[in-house]
Structure 1
Amino acid sequence: MSLEADLARWREHLTRFAALLGNPPDRHATPAPGAAPGHCLIFAPHPDDECIVGALPLRLRQEAGWRVSNVAVTLGSNAERREARWAELLDACAVLGFGCIRVGEDGLSDVRADAVKPEQVEALAALLTEHRPALVLAPHADDDNPSHRGVHRLVVEAIAAAKVDTVLALTEFWSTQDQPNALVETNIADTARLIAALERHTGEIERNPYHLRLPAFLADAVRRGGELVLGAGEAPPDFAFATLYRLIACRAGQPVADLPRRVFPAAQALSSDLLTS
């Protein structure tokens, strides 16, 4: 594809984004045949992570009828902003159609991989035991933020403590992960919805308009995912935006196997059996 064609394609994307950001349409496709709808828990280190890594849960909700709940593990380090961040999170999740679960009154504090507290693990294990989610999202072990690394360890230990059967989807933001095995496309409308939800975190984007940079993050996942998921030297996917995950099957709380490497284009509706095949 020529440079002129690439630029024309980006201009088209940006024009459509401008039209969609104010009120992106919701998709309520007829769930594809497969297993019964499940429940997904997103263990978010901070309010806003549910938008940044939310492609797979969003598509499962819209295309397979899943219920999605965001677990606010923390409400940030600034105690004076926690109530405002909770309110912003409720607004963002309303855009995505996600529920919200608050861990304690103010979320957990001082969540770090090198200082995990038993009561923190117990709090998350209790949620897992109550909800028995078919899919759990958490940052990968080396996501380069102390709270992200802390939440990874908390979730892994909580899954073990609760002894649940689930699929753990490792996410990335602050640094990339080495072995992603799922590349999940979002079309223009769904990408716009993620950005519109992220925009609801008004206090955060006032200091850093990172919602405007989310398309670049999702576009880079396509570049990387074409090689890491499809294989070195393979033709890259013919779409603009996607999110990378590493999907790991857990049985009785223990990881047993990575799921096969797959690309999930937006043109093909997701079904619940993607977590078993």
Structure 2
Amino acid sequence: MANPYLALVETHAALLQKTDAPLFADLSSLSPAKDNAAADAPVVVIFAPHPDDECIIGALPLRLQREAGFRVVNVAVTQGSNVPRKAERWAELKNACDYLAWGLRETIPGGLEAVTCKTRDGDAAAWAEKVDVIVKLLNELKPAVVVCPNDNDGHAAHIGTHYLVVDALKKAGHACQLVQSEFWRAMATPNTLIGSNSVDTADLIAALACHVGEVKRNPYHLRLTSWMADNVRRGAEVVGGAGVAAPTFSFGTIYRIDRFDGQQIAATDKKYVLSENDDIRAVLS
């Protein structure tokens, strides 16, 4: 008997190898979302280590925006390490954020440099200057929810961004929900699996396709659904519990959500597995 899964594999492979998937150097062929948040809406701030990270881990902020009326602001901590590409990456990032109706802020013109633990451990004065930049943004934006990478996310700038944000939260004495994301390395103790519906998932991919130079180099956009599907596979058991039935939703993103009490992370024992139909506000309880 012929292998009945061969057609499935070949269909999936064809999607991953698409050469005609559109990229968006501008928004003329897209219909950007509108920011319908109230003037006094609570704010989610994403501290993205690089332009494009905001789209990859953006499922929870997008749902808080669309389902709970939050305003989302992306802070571009760096604009990448390739100096000749910085202006282009900023333009791509603006298109991505405009498409999702997310606000966008720089840290400093051109973005911060050397956001790593090497700087934190070896150059206290330079690190303090970076922390002060983030403190100023926290004091201005007053986020109810802060999103940043976890402290072992497999990339020096991601790990550095984690410590930069936590150090700034502590210096500012800012209390909030702290959402730690993952991409380059799986977290040891995630506690949240957020399902995304097809529209949200497609919108994150379209926003990611605005990062033209990055996805030409590495087609993150075509592989995002595979990553999100694997998150459901893994999150079912590392969040939901070993041996439990897997969620029925197709696409998900894994996080760790705790409270930052103004001085430290106050870890919670709560765990959340939310389908695309569950009330997203449950993660803020």
Range with bigger deviation, 218-227 or 204-213: 204-213
- Is the partner of 1:85 in helix, strand or coil? helix
Partner Cα separation in structure 1 for residue 276 and residue 262 of structure 2: 32
Identity across the alignment (%)? 44
**1:29 Cα deviation after fit:** 11
Contact map agreement 1:37 1:64 (CA 8 A) in 2: no
- Of 163, 177, 187 in structure 2, the residue corresponding to residue 167 of structure 1 is 177
Runs of 4+ off more than 4 Å: 18-31
What CA RMSD, in Å, does the superposition of the two structures yield over aligned residues? Answer: 2.8
Partner Cα separation in structure 1 for residue 284 and residue 22 of structure 2: 31
- Is the partner of 1:258 in helix, strand or coil? coil
Partner Cα separation in structure 2 for residue 24 and residue 268 of structure 1: 27
Contact map agreement 2:208 2:221 (CA 8 A) in 1: yes
Give the structure-2-normalised TM-score. 0.85
Q: Which residue of 2 aligns with 1:42?
A: 46
**1:7 Cα deviation after fit:** 4.4
| Paired amino acid for 1:150 | G
Partner Cα separation in structure 2 for residue 255 and residue 170 of structure 1: 11
CA deviation digits over 1:3-57, x for unaligned, max 9?
Answer: 76x949x88xx7xxx99997589699999xxxx8410000000000000000000
Partner Cα separation in structure 1 for residue 144 and residue 214 of structure 2: 31
**1:208 Cα deviation after fit:** 1.5
Partner Cα separation in structure 1 for residue 269 and residue 141 of structure 2: 22
Partner Cα separation in structure 2 for residue 111 and residue 274 of structure 1: 29
CA deviation digits over 1:138-197, x for unaligned, max 9?
Answer: 111111111101101101101100101101111001110011111111111110000000
Measured at CA, do residues 106 and 155 of structure 1 come closer, stay the same or move farther in structure 2, by a change above 3 Å?
A: same
Do residues 191 (structure 1) and 201 (structure 2) align? yes
- Is the partner of 1:144 in helix, strand or coil? coil
| Paired amino acid for 1:202 | V
- Of 55, 79, 85 in structure 2, the residue corresponding to residue 81 of structure 1 is 85
Partner Cα separation in structure 1 for residue 107 and residue 207 of structure 2: 21
Q: Which residue of 1 aligns with 2:246?
A: 236
Measured at CA, do residues 146 and 159 of structure 1 come closer, stay the same or move farther in structure 2, by a change above 3 Å?
A: same
**1:135 Cα deviation after fit:** 0.6
What is the aligned length? 263
Q: Which residue of 1 aligns with 2:62?
A: 58
**1:253 Cα deviation after fit:** 3.1
Give the structure-1-normalised TM-score. 0.87
CA deviation digits over 1:76-104, x for unaligned, max 9?
Answer: 00111111111000000112111000011
For structure 2, which runs of at least 5 residues remain unmatched after alignment? 24-28, 121-126
Contact map agreement 1:51 1:197 (CA 8 A) in 2: yes
**1:258 Cα deviation after fit:** 2.2
Do residues 275 (structure 1) and 279 (structure 2) align? no
